[in-house]
Structure 1
């Protein structure tokens, strides 16, 4: 079975996904860059996986920023 990914094009939509509990069952891709306030909020909700368009990821309470490979 293929994993489904929810797309949040605004913070309001991301908030709706979290409010409805979808962050526990689905990976979420945000079409906007991360900000500290959003990441802090996400960590409290322990999402399955949230990735922002700048490569920043929050997964099961952990946050990672992509490193450039040379």
Structure 2
């Protein structure tokens, strides 16, 4: 984002009113959203590891086998 803004580019989201680089709190909102995204990545990784620790591996192997069957 810093590279984009260094070129003078401003952005406004039509669907999310708080994503607006033309307003006063633009840096604060981007920082908050970045922190939330990072936390979600950590939680997703934990959920994935938790699923793979038990019967989750069976589901992974089913998907791998299906993919291998589709390959020429």
TM-score (norm: length of structure 1): 0.23
Q: Which has the higher strand share?
A: 1
User: Larger relative CO (CA 8 A, sep 6+): 1 or 2?
Assistant: 1
Q: Which has the higher helix share?
A: 2
TM-score (norm: length of structure 2): 0.22
Choose 1 or 2 for highest CA Rg. 2
